[in-house]
Amino acid sequence: MSIAIIGAGNVGMALARAFTQRGEDVVLGVPDPAKYAGAVAALGPRARVTATADAIGAAELVILAVPYAATASIARSVADWGGRILVDATNPLAPGLAGLSIGTTTSGAEEIARLAQGARVVKAFNTTGAENMADAAYPGGAPCMPVCGDDADARARVIALATRIGFDAVDMGPLAAARYLEPFAMTWIHLALVQGHGRDFAFAILRRH
Ligand SMILES: NC(=O)c1ccc[n+]([C@@H]2O[C@H](COP(=O)([O-])OP(=O)(O)OC[C@H]3O[C@@H](n4cnc5c(N)ncnc54)[C@H](OP(=O)(O)O)[C@@H]3O)[C@@H](O)[C@H]2O)c1
């Protein structure tokens, strides 16, 4: 499955590093590819960077790793996504990390799905810090990665990708569960940045059986 990552910041580069280290090819899409040429070259031959539209055009699975404000225009930029998988790793953060700008009765992911005609939208890679996406290894076990989306096949493929890079990927069912996952991301952010726990922690699920 060909993978495009839109955005080459903290999350985009972290996922690109994790995927390429496991033998996946990735294309990063950004407005100004030259700005990221050096950083992407350092990831090795499995990664390349190009303009956003070219990256989207080449991929079966597209990961949105951009500020939430940029998602609407990207979703609308393709007239028909033709069943391709669109993974929403964003969070609709309010200014100053004061909370979320939308929620409870909808979610960022559902708003993206409304705009991305024909896309199979999956929410994933939004609930933990970028450092954990680059390297999910923890001494206590695998961090969890909740995944939701309305298409079972798309969800399963993203669960497989998250598992491949070291997460305990958890099937959260339909896309409306993003209404829980975006506030869950705020829990990590609040602990990390407001309560002073730093970024070197992750949530995991403990099971009796
Ligand atoms: N940071 C985390 O630990 C973390 C964890 C989970 C989820 N998230 C979410 O993931 C998203 C990305 O966060 P981040 O920390 O990676 O942000 P970031 O470091 O600011 O990177 C954002 C990237 O998106 C690019 N971009 C902006 N507008 C674009 C557009 N219209 N088309 C294509 N690319 C565009 C930027 O390019 P330019 O540099 O050229 O502007 C940049 O490469 C956010 O929604 C955030 O809430 C972040």
69 vs 16: CA distance, rounded Å = 22
Q: In testing the pocket of ligand 1, which one of 6, 10, 97 has its CB within 8 Å of the most ligand atoms?
A: 10
126 lines ligand 1 (CB under 6 A): yes
Task: Output the pLDDT for position 27.
Answer: 98
pLDDT tens-digit series, residues 40-55: 999 999 999 999 999 9
Place 79 in a pLDDT band, splitting at 50, 70 and 90.
Answer: very high
Which helix (H) or strand (E) covers residue 19, if one does? helix 10-21
- CA dihedral (176, 137, 86, 59) in degrees, to 10, reads -170
Task: Output the pLDDT for position 150.
Answer: 98
pLDDT tens-digit series, residues 109-154: 999 999 999 999 999 999 999 999 999 999 989 999 999 999 999 9
Cα of 83 from ligand 1 centre, angstroms:
24
Minimum CA distance residue for ligand 1 atom 7? 126
Per-chain mean pLDDT for the chain: 98
Q: What is the maximal distance between C-alpha atoms in the chain?
A: 50
Task: Output the pLDDT for position 58.
Answer: 82
Task: Output the pLDDT for position 15.
Answer: 98
Kindly state the percentage of the chain with pLDDT values over 90: 97
pTM: 0.98
Question: What percent of the chain is helix, strand and coil (3-state, nearest 5)?
Answer: 40, 20, 40
* Short-list 25, 19, 18, 15, CA closest to 47: 25
Task: Output the pLDDT for position 88.
Answer: 99
132 lines ligand 1 (CB under 6 A): no
The residues near 208 (Cβ < 8 Å, ≥ 6 apart) are none
Q: In testing the pocket of ligand 1, which one of 11, 101, 115, 189 has its CB within 8 Å of the most ligand atoms?
A: 11
The predicted model gives 151-174 an average pLDDT of 98
* Short-list 138, 159, 139, 140, CA closest to 148: 159
Architecture of domain 3-194: 3-Layer(aba) Sandwich (3.40)
